[in-house]
């Protein structure tokens, strides 16, 4: 009764694995520890997970089918979080998205369908970016999503379609979760909370796109972990179509300038702002409709940015020994 967590050295993967370990589950974590961002942060996350006796780690690239399929029996559930993340990086490096998000995702669902005695549930990460330039707010899982505006979003949309087809064909349960700008301790160095904090502290300008006229549904890591674990514990009910999609957001669109204000307050230092036009691939607003997530998963996010940002900054100071 082991749970496979892919992307365990990643920001969300580490927190999900830790929450599972803390409730006594056997977890096998997989990650290729690639150098998209500072490898030492990924190694530190794995070192933390290794303090639990019920954790095992395998350094595996999910695009390598043979390596992935060599994982031994006993896996009954999967949380699939390994992916090439980031909207902007996908403009210059589409190949790594094909490798991790398309080939890698196919390998994981192929692995899932071959599990003897059937997999009891698989949960995987999709993204709010699949909504593209949707103008209807908040974004509902019933909205159309066929117009992604970044290659990253296109691969996440493809993952949803591949998963749907596999669940339909082979009849195993899967839940795709569209995550909305996740932040918190152990967060990613390529995301705004981390970038703004490090630049403000070192007195450098922070780039603010669309002249600050942007909104994001910032979601605190603990709320996201609760949503992922609830989804894992509640495979799709009717078994047809065996595949469901849910939003995991905070159900609150925060203005980017207020978010920066909360970071400034927590740091006790003002930002030097470098206003810039909207970047290709970025959307102006994200805002999650979470009605179906509340109804089916009992997902009730409760952390505001006023509570979550200071916790991120406390971790940032501890981790960097400032």
**Which position among 19, 26, 33, 296 is part of the footprint of ligand NAD (CB under 6 A)?**
33
243-282 footprint of ligand NAD as x/- string (CB under 6 A): ----------------------------------------
The two tokens of residue 315 are 């971790």
Rule CB under 6 A: which of 157-196 touch ligand NAD?
A: 179, 181-182, 188
**Which position among 11, 196, 287, 312 is part of the footprint of ligand NAD (CB under 6 A)?**
11
Quick check: 255 and 287 in contact, CB under 8 A? no
122-151 footprint of ligand NAD as x/- string (CB under 6 A): ---x-x------------------------
Per CB under 6 A, 108 contacts ligand NAD? no
Per CB under 6 A, 62 contacts ligand NAD? yes
Comparison of 16 and 115: residue with beta carbon closer to ligand NAD: 16
Q: Which stretch binds ligand NAD (CB under 6 A): 96-104, 113-121, 239-247, 272-280?
A: 96-104
User: DSSP for 239-278?
Assistant: -SSSEEEEEES-S--EEHHHHHHHHHHHHTSPPEEEEEPP
Instruction: Give me the helices (H) in 70-220, please.
Output: 89-92, 94-97, 104-114, 151-170, 192-201
Q: Which stretch binds ligand NAD (CB under 6 A): 98-106, 168-176, 256-264, 304-312?
A: 98-106
Selecting among 36, 37, 124, 152, the annotated active-site residue is: 152
- Peptide bond between residue 241 and the one before it cis (omega within 30 degrees of 0): yes
Q: Residue 87 CA to chain centroid, in angstroms?
A: 13
Q: Which among 63, 50, 54 has a CA at the least distance from the CA of 6? A: 63
Per CB under 6 A, 5 contacts ligand NAD? no
Q: What are phi and psi of 224, to 5 degrees?
A: -65, -45
Q: How far apart are CA 308 and CA 140, in angstroms?
A: 25
Cβ within 8 Å of residue 298, ≥6 positions away: 230
Q: How far apart are CA 175 and CA 4, in angstroms?
A: 15
Residue 299 a catalytic site member: no
Instruction: Tell me which residues are annotated as active site.
Output: 152
Q: For binding to ligand NAD (CB under 6 A), which residues are involved?
A: 7, 9-13, 31-34, 42, 61-63, 81-85, 99-100, 104, 125, 127, 179, 181-182, 188
């Amino acid at each position: 009764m082991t749970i496979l967590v892919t992307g365990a050295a990643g920001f969300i993967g580490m927190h999900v694995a830790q929450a599972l370990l803390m409730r006594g589950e056997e977890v096998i974590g997989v990650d290729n520890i690639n150098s998209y961002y500072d490898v030492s942060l990924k190694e530190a996350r794995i070192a933390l997970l290794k303090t639990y006796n019920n954790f095992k780690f395998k350094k595996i690239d999910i695009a390598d089918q043979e390596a992935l399929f060599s994982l031994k029996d006993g896996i009954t559930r999967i949380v699939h979080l390994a992916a090439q993340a980031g909207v902007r990086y996908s403009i210059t490096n589409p190949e790594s998205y094909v490798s991790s998000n398309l080939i890698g995702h196919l390998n994981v669902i192929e692995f899932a369908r071959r599990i003897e005695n059937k997999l009891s549930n698989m949960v995987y990460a999709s993204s709010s970016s699949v909504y593209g330039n949707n103008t209807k707010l908040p974004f509902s899982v019933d909205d159309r999503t066929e117009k992604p505006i970044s290659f990253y979003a296109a691969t996440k949309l493809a993952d949803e379609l591949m998963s749907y087809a596999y669940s339909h064909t082979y009849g195993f349960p899967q839940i795709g979760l569209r995550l909305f700008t996740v932040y918190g301790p152990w967060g990613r160095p390529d995301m705004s909370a981390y970038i703004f904090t490090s630049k403000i502290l070192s007195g450098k300008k922070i780039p603010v796109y669309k002249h600050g006229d942007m909104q994001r549904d910032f979601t605190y890591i603990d709320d996201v972990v609760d949503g992922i674990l609830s989804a894992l514990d509640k495979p799709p009910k009717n078994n047809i179509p065996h595949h469901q999609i849910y939003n995991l957001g905070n159900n609150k669109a925060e203005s980017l300038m207020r978010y920066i204000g909360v970071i400034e307050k927590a740091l006790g230092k003002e930002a030097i702002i470098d206003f810039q036009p909207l970047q290709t691939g970025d959307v102006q607003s994200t805002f999650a409709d979470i009605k179906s997530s509340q109804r089916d998963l009992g997902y009730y996010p409760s952390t505001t940015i006023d509570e979550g940002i200071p916790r991120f900054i406390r971790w940032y100071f501890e981790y960097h020994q400032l």
